Chain A
Amino acid sequence: MSRLYDTVEPAVVDEDMLKRAVEEQGPKDEAGKIAKSEGIDFGDVLSLRLDFLNILKIDNLWEFTALTKLQLDNNIIEKIEGLDCLVNLVWLDLSFNNIEVIEGLNALTKLEDLTLYNNRIATLENMDTLLNLHVFSIGNNMLTELGNLLYLRRFKEMKTLNLAGNPFCKQNGYKQYVIAFLSGIDFLDYRLVDKQSREDAMEKHMIQREEMLHNEKQAELKQEEEVKNKQQLELHKAAYVELMDGPHLFEMMYVEDSEGQKLSEMPGIEDLLQTFKDKFVAICHQMFEYGLKEHEKRDSEVKQFWECVEDAKQENKNLGMHAINNFMVVKKRTMQELVQISDQKVLESVVADYNKQVSELWDKLMGLELQLVDQLEDVIKDFERSMQDLVASFQENIQAFLAQCRDLETFHHEKMMEIAIVTLEKVLKNELDDEINEDLRMLFVDKDTIMNAVSSSHDVHLLKIDNKEDDMVTRINHWLKTTIDKIHEDEEISRNRMRVTEINNLIDHLRDEIDNLEVLQAGNY
């Protein structure tokens, strides 16, 4: 480390440097000795200091995943990079470097303290994800635009800010501007913001502030609204009736139906179309309501199921813990006895007794686990059955609703057909009063054409309805399948595996313990 300051020889962050730093800054004394002999994992290091090292490029830090504090001050870093792995970082010091742009910090969401003092930064940007920021130091930089400070308004937690030494500090009213527009700041440029100056600043910038606050409020409301809508849609989707509370499906039928669109221009079918639409939408709405209701039912069923499962598991767990605790008391007593006994025979009998107890514990715990498995199996079966019933009835009802839609469509189609034939006759006889548009006229060339057009429109509509039905049915079936599978997987198989492993592990440990003790004892004699 005998580098001279004036000989600017950029250093590279390499393993040696990191190791040295870690060892230097790691545990001291005896602990250090142990650590050294054992080797320090970079992944365990919580704090690292790499200052005055002439580092040009941040690199090779990807191993330090647990790092919470990193000091890279007084180097010659020009670009913030290579920090994406350090997601646990809380404290980052990049002061006295040559950084020009704020970047590469987006992964550091836990960051609370960021120092960029004495760099060459001209704009505040690219910090949108650092919402936990408490302390921010960007003094001695090249910030010129006061308006750029509004960028800092998004950091609601920020209490301490250092801007001293930037070009805009020379402007009149700089301090008041900052205080007025960043009202959460308690400490500005090394000093406490007192009440008087805060009031003054507020008064001075009142109008702009109010306006800004108003705008922000509006935006916030809008965002809330959006979130709410999204949630609503999410809920509807979960109920498989999204967008059904309106003419969406009806409109969808006509989107890809070019003939239908043309035909709807036909004179005299406006009323028909309107009644058709009304009726259709009404059915859709019924379906929507039904879907939500069913969804609620399913939800409550699922909730009830989980409650019961949790109860059962809790009860079983309590029983198990009780058994273990009882055993631990026995064990403690046995261990105390063992220390005092010197007679080999008695000792053996005690050990044998202990082992028997361990076996009994194993039996007991395993019995409990088997009991739980049985119970859960029954319950899951019940649940599966009733869920299947629910889903089946949902499907049936939905299908019934859609059948109604289809009937409507067929009825509508027939009417259309009649009107089309009548219109065709009129067109052929040139009795049509109104002018009809050219596309439509093209259809009324002969009977086949118009019939085809009407039929194809009908087919498209039916297809849409069929698609909707398919979609709903497959989705709910898929949901049912995944849910049940997951329950089987989680509750039956992995839970059981884990518990059995745990029990065996415990029993092994208990047996080992007595064996070890015996070894010790044997050694003593």
Chain B
Amino acid sequence: MADEPDQQPDNIATEEEENQEKGELNEEQDGEKEIPEVTVTEELTEDAEALKNELNKIVVHPPSIDLSIPMKEFDQTEFPASYKENLPKENLVLQYAENFRRQYVHLYRDRKPLLLNPVNECGTEKFVCTTIRPTQLEFKELYNWEGAAEFVADYLNFETLEPPTELPRRLLSPTTILKRQKGNCFDYSTLLCSLLIGVGYDALVVNGYATRETCLADESREICPLMKKKEEVKEEVQKKEQKKYAVKAPKDLRSKFELKQDAKAKAEKEAEEEQRKKEAEEKAAELEKPPPDPLYGLRVHAWVLVLAGRREVPESFFIEPFTGLSHPVDSQNYLGIESVWNATNYWVNMQDCSDGVKGLSYDLGDCTRWEYMFPITEKPLLKIPDVEDDIGDLDDDEKGSERLNALHHDNTQLTFSEEEENEMDKNLDMPPSWVEPIKLSLRDFQMRCPQGKKTKLYKRAKLEKFAHYLMKDGLVSKLSMYDNRELTDLIMVREYFAHRVDKLCTKVHNHRSGWNTEFFDPGRHKCLKEHQFKASSPGPENDRIMLFYDEARVDGLVKRVECLTEMTEEYRNRDDYLYYKQVEFGKRTKKFGPQDGTGANNMRPIVKMVQKFNRNTKKSASEDIAELVFLVSEDKIQLTYHTEDPRIASSTREFLKPANWDEKGATLTFNPEMHQTFQVDPTSPMNKNVELYEMLLEMLKAEEKCRNEVRESEEEVREVLNERTKEETASELEISVYDTDRNEKAKKHRRELERLQLEERMRKQEMDIDYLAPFLAQMGNPDKITRQQAYQLKEDCLGDLKKRLIDKANLIQARFEKETQLLEKKQAWYQQNQVAMSKDDEEAYLDYCSEALFRIHILDLRLARHKEQAPHKYMQLEQRLRSEERLAEFF
């Protein structure tokens, strides 16, 4: 600690200059004030007068500090008491912090103030450590730091610090930040830290300085993480062991000198090329460098430090909260560290940051490097925790920390003067967080970004993110790559999808070549894996490449490449050892002989078909066909067999198809001229004509089969394309059965269940109504019913029902009569005024009549029904009374 911990030198320099200027100004001001007191001499020159006037013009106002932070944007009523008041313990801690701050400022005048107790959303001062609320949320994506950091970066919109060189005066609680979905770097870091500590990481908020690009979350000079190519693991080429009996290579008869000259020329050329490339790269890099930043090294920033140790983190690293990406601890983006804190303690950096954050040690227990605030030390201390004894042993160059250690003692003495010192050291711990528990609904979590959308700019790329299910076609992110930094020259657009019914996961559109590539997850109808085609000509029979999940296909198809005149298919793991099939098509308009007229007039005529087979070790090589060529247009079939082991040539065979081969049921004739062969082994016996004839028949069958397969393939392509067009227009999304929120069917089902339950309950309630209750009440609710009472009860009950039935009948009757009367009146009125009536009135009358008649008719029906049902109801009640439990003994 010999050297005073100084920050960025220019930072301090500017500060000092400012101070000097201020001082000068003050002096001048003082001078001005003194002027009236001094007797104005005659010798006062005009110059002095001028100076005086000049100085009078200068009016210095004391800097007005607006201490009242607008709290208007928060509704104070919605916050609980812990937000507005401080507990005694919190007050104690604040006091402690204040004491720390005072002594810190006293000891290190040159250093910038620390962020210790900013106000919260209610304007209450809170200590920063208590603002961190370690929380574990129920989403498994947040269990790892990658997920948590990405979530925080996505979920919030960032605000810059105003001004960028000052610490914020307000620090919001993580809960409020989540609600607002907005925050500055300190808000981001506090929230991220809360989440990380909650899942067990040793995470700390770091307050320090960073580059402009980092502070403004400007990633336009970074390569988009999605575009970074995975490092290809190069397999070490095993050096070929020099075997004892390895044959010598044939003698090289070329001129050694010439070879040397050639190699030299080549090397020169390569070097030149390399040089040129390097220069071009350097030039490009120069162009891309950001313009110099006048505030370099002064921009305050906050980020997160994850220390090695817990959760199997092998090495400490930073997380940039704005981007959610990790950076190594010697990152160029960060220029200095003032302090770090977590939920339990606060440490001030005592190390030299003139060279950025490179070489900083994060051993928080090392008092010479990190000044702690509370002597509770979870971190392994280098020294023995009992500080008192150690002070004397400290070296002279550790005076700074020595003084601060003493300061801790002052502090504790100050607050706990009555208690014993040792005990106090151990007892002072952090009060619980004042922040409300962090809560996040599933829907909000899935929305990811504010309004579910976010756009990020990278170097020559633009990334748009969307929440799942937000876009109708299932789009979740869209990456556009450009050739220039102004993002005008589009090269390629890559779109990622999720939850699509058609299993589409990625779509790439290359604007340069005009090719579209679609990637699919397994599980599609035709096991399609990848589909490349020209955007300008998506129809069948055009250039395209299709890849398939061959394990899932019966025919083992891996790849199908198609263009106007050719189709190539590759297979894997087939029982018949076929691995390659190529078909050449002719022009449609031109007739190519009889094979054209097979009914498929719309099909392209086949000119040539080639099939290639792997070696079937069960057959002898001279009988195992390696290549089978059907020259359809020439009526020829060519066979090439596999090469036997020591041989280098392969046997071939050629058949000329008989003239009538495509006539159905015709007897095919054969003569030896239709067959040509070349046997590698001249001693092998010639095949007999019968065998050749049978082979020819077999080949004809194979050709037929192959042709059918080709047609099927074409059909399949058409089918797939049709399917794709349909899916593209429909673009349905799959909803998991467990997603109760989105699954409409499940919702409906649940509502139905609820309805049924309700009905059931109603019915039950109805059942519970005791129809005897009013009558029993009339008798004064006797405990025991006598015989007489029972009869009385029955009588009453039936009488009541009778009365009600009659009442009802009367009511219906009364309504019926009223309606009839009204109608009669109206009819009379109509007859009187019929002549003077307008057509509209007449219509209204007719309408009324028909309606009235309808009502009368209904009432009539009701009455009839009532009359019919009344005796039944009466009987029913009687029956019920008979079977009534309470009256059972009397009837």
Chain A residues packing against B (C-beta within 8 Å): 27, 29-31, 34-35, 38, 40-41, 44, 301, 304-305, 307-309, 311-313, 317, 320-321, 324, 365, 371, 375-376, 378-379, 382-383, 495, 498-499, 501-503, 505-506, 509
Question: Given A307-B243, A379-B247, A27 and B646 touching (CB < 8 A)?
Answer: no
- B829 located at the interface, meaning its Cβ lies under 8 Å from any Cβ of chain A in the complex: no
Instruction: Tell me which residues across on chain A come within 8 A of B244, comparing CB atoms.
Output: 301, 304-305, 308, 382
Report yes or no: B688 in contact with A38, Cβ–Cβ below 8 A.
yes
A35: chain B residues at CB < 8 Å are: 688-690
Stretch at the interface among B382-390, B488-496, B663-671, B773-781: B663-671
Known contacts A321-B643, A498-B646; can you find 18 more A-B pairs with CB under 8 A? A27-B690, A30-B667, A31-B690, A31-B694, A34-B689, A301-B244, A304-B245, A305-B244, A305-B245, A307-B245, A308-B243, A309-B245, A375-B248, A375-B250, A379-B245, A495-B646, A499-B648, A505-B649
Interface centre among A27, A30, A40, A44 (most CB of B within 10 A): A30
- Mark contacts of B682-720 with chain A using CB atoms, 8 A cut-off: 1 yes-contact digit, 0 otherwise: 100000111001100100000000000000000000000
Partner of B647, one of A34, A308, A502, A509: A502
* Cβ–Cβ < 8 Å partners of B689 in chain A: 34-35, 38
Nearest 7 pairs of A and B residues by beta carbon: A320-B648, A308-B245, A375-B247, A312-B247, A35-B690, A506-B649, A509-B678
> B695 to chain A: closest CB distance in Å?
11
Most buried by B among A34, A41, A313, A498: A34
Taking the complex as formed, is B246 at the interface, i.e. its CB lies under 8 A from any CB of chain A?
yes
B646 touches A313 (CB 8 A): yes
B680 at the interface (CB under 8 A from A): yes
Complex-state Cα separation, A34 to B245, whole angstroms: 55
Give, as a whole number of angstroms, the nearest-CB distance from B692 to chain A: 9
Task: Give B239 Cβ to nearest chain A Cβ, in Å.
Answer: 16
Would A506 and B693 be within 8 Å (CB), given that A308-B244, A308-B247, A382-B245 are in contact? no
Closest chain B CB from A325 CB (angstroms):
9
Please measure, in the bound complex, the distance between the C-alpha atom of A308 and the C-alpha atom of B242, giving whole angstroms: 10
Asked whether, in the complex, the Cβ of A30 is within 8 Å of the Cβ of B243, the reply is no
Query: Contacts of A501 on B, CB cut-off 8 Å?
Result: 682
- Residues of A near B646 (CB, < 8 A) are 313, 317, 495, 498-499
Complex-state Cα separation, A308 to B690, whole angstroms: 45
Task: Give residues of chain B (241-258) contacting chain A, Cβ–Cβ below 8 Å.
Answer: 243-248, 250
A378 touching B693, Cβ below 8 Å:
no
Residues of B within 8 A of A (CB-CB), count: 26
Are A378 and B248 within 8 A (Cβ)?
yes
**What are 29 A-B residue pairs whose CB atoms fall within 8 Å in the complex?**
A27-B690, A27-B694, A31-B694, A31-B697, A34-B670, A34-B689, A34-B690, A35-B688, A35-B690, A38-B688, A40-B690, A304-B245, A305-B244, A305-B245, A307-B243, A307-B245, A308-B245, A311-B246, A313-B646, A379-B245, A382-B244, A502-B647, A502-B649, A502-B680, A502-B681, A503-B649, A505-B649, A505-B680, A506-B678
Q: When the two chains form the complex, which single residue of B245, B643, B670, B682 contacts A30, counting CB atoms closer than 8 Å?
A: B670
**CB of B113, distance to nearest CB on chain A (Å):** 77
**Cα-based distance from A307 to B244 in the complex (angstroms):** 10
Give the distance in Å from the alpha carbon of A129 to the alpha carbon of B531 in the complex: 59
- A29 to B668: give the CA distance in the assembly, Å: 10
- In the complex, which of the residues A27, A304, A324, A382 contacts B649, with contact meaning CB atoms closer than 8 Å? A324
CA separation between A503 and B670, bound complex, in Å? 32
Whether A376 contacts B247 in the complex (CB less than 8 A), given A31-B693, A502-B647, A502-B648, comes out as yes
Chain B positions 618 through 650: 1 when the CB is less than 8 Å from some CB of chain A, otherwise 0: 000000000000000000000000010011110
Q: Is the CB of A505 within 8 A of B246?
A: no
Please indicate the chain B residues that have their CB under 8 angstroms from the CB of A365 in the complex. 648
Closest to A383 in B: B245
Asked if B245 and A324 make an inter-chain contact with CB atoms under 8 angstroms apart, the answer reads no
Least Cβ–Cβ distance between A474 and chain B, in angstroms: 27
CB-nearest residue of chain B relative to A507? B649
Complex-state Cα separation, A30 to B649, whole angstroms: 34
Q: How far is the CA of A376 from the CA of B250 in the complex (A)?
A: 12
Give residues of chain B (645-676) contacting chain A, Cβ–Cβ below 8 Å.
Answer: 646-649, 667-670
Task: Enumerate chain A residues within 8 angstroms of B243, measured Cβ to Cβ.
Answer: 304, 307-308, 311
Bound complex: CA of A509 vs CA of B697, how far in Å? 26
Q: How far is the CB of B326 from chain A (nearest CB, A)?
A: 50
> Judging by beta carbons under 8 Å apart, are A29 and B690 in contact?
no
Q: Please name all residues of chain B whose beta carbon is closer than 8 Å to the beta carbon of A307 when the two chains form the complex.
A: 243, 245
Q: Which residue among B646, B688, B690, B697 has the maximum number of chain A CB atoms within 10 Å of its CB? A: B690
On whether the beta carbons of B667 and A324 are closer than 8 Å, the reply is: no
* Chain A residue, CB-CB nearest to B638: A332
> In the complex the two chains form, what is the Cα distance from A414 to B690 in whole Å?
86
Complex CA–CA separation, A38 to B694 (angstroms): 14
Of all chain B residues, the one with the shortest Cβ separation from A30 is B667
| A308/B680 contact (C-beta < 8 A), A30-B670, A34-B670, A320-B648 known | no
Residue of B with least CB distance to A504: B682
**B680–A506 touching, CB < 8 Å:** yes
Docked complex: B476-535 residues within 8 A CB-CB of A: none
What distance in Å separates the Cβ of B629 from its nearest Cβ neighbour in chain A?
10
How distant is the Cα of A305 from the Cα of B245 in the complex, in angstroms? 6
Instruction: Report B-chain residues with C-beta under 8 Å of the C-beta of A383.
Output: 245
A304 to B243, CA, bound (A): 8
Residue of A nearest to B244 (CB): A304
Of chain B, the residue at the smallest CB distance from A32 is: B690
The residue in chain B whose Cβ has the minimal distance to the Cβ of A495 is: B646
- State in angstroms the CA–CA spacing of A398 and B246 once bound together: 31
B682 close to A505 (CB less than 8 A):
yes
Chain B: minimal CB distance from A165 (Å): 40
Chain B residue nearest to A37 in the complex (CB): B689
Smallest beta-carbon distance B686→chain A, Å: 12
A498 to B644, CA, bound (A): 13
A321 touches B648 (CB 8 A): yes
- Beta-carbon nearest neighbor of B240 in chain A: A311
Chain B minimum-CB-distance residue to A306: B245
B667 in contact with A29 (CB, 8 Å): yes
Chain A residue with minimal CB distance to B678?
Answer: A509
In the assembled complex, which residues on chain B have CB atoms less than 8 Å from the CB atom of A378? 247-248
Give CA–CA (A324, B678) in the complex, Å. Answer: 14
A313 (CB) vs chain B CBs: closest residue: B646
Q: How far is the CA of A498 from the CA of B682 in the complex (A)?
A: 11
Neighbouring A residues of B247 by C-beta, 8 Å: 308, 311-312, 375-376, 378-379
Q: Closest CB-CB distance, B626 to chain A, in whole Å?
A: 11
B688: A residues at CB distance < 8 A: 35, 38, 41, 44
List the B side residues contacting A509 at CB < 8 Å. 678
What distance in Å separates the Cβ of A336 from its nearest Cβ neighbour in chain B?
10
Min Cβ gap A203→B in Å is 43
- In the assembly, what is the distance between CA of A199 and CA of B848, in Å? 91
A40 and B678 alpha carbons, distance in the complex (Å): 24
Is A30 a contact partner of B246 (Cβ separation < 8 A)?
A: no
Which residue of B is nearest A516, CB measured?
B676
Q: Which residues of A contact B669 (CB under 8 A)?
A: 30
CB distance from B702 to the nearest CB of A (A): 17
**In the assembly, what is the distance between CA of A311 and CA of B690, in Å?**
41
Interface contact B693-A34, CB-CB below 8 Å: yes
Docked pose: A321 CA to B649 CA in angstroms: 7
In the complex where A304-B245, A311-B246, A375-B248 touch, is A324 in contact with B648 (Cβ < 8 A)? yes
A376 contacts across to B, CB distance below 8 A: 247
The answer on a CB contact under 8 Å between B670 and A317 is no
Across the interface, which residues of A come within 8 angstroms of B681, CB to CB? 502
> Which residue of the partner chain B has the closest CB to A370?
B250
Closest to B696 in A: A31
Bound form: Cα–Cα A444–B658 in Å = 104
A321 to B626, CA, bound (A): 14
Min Cβ gap A200→B in Å is 41
Separation of A301 and B243 alpha carbons in the complex (Å): 11
Partner of B693, one of A30, A312, A320, A324: A30
Residues of B within 8 A of A30 (CB): 667-670, 693
Contact with A along B233-276 (1 / 0, CB 8 A): 00000000001111110100000000000000000000000000
**Distance A27 CA – B248 CA, assembled complex (angstroms):** 56
Name the B residues within 8 Å of A505 (CB-CB).
649, 680, 682
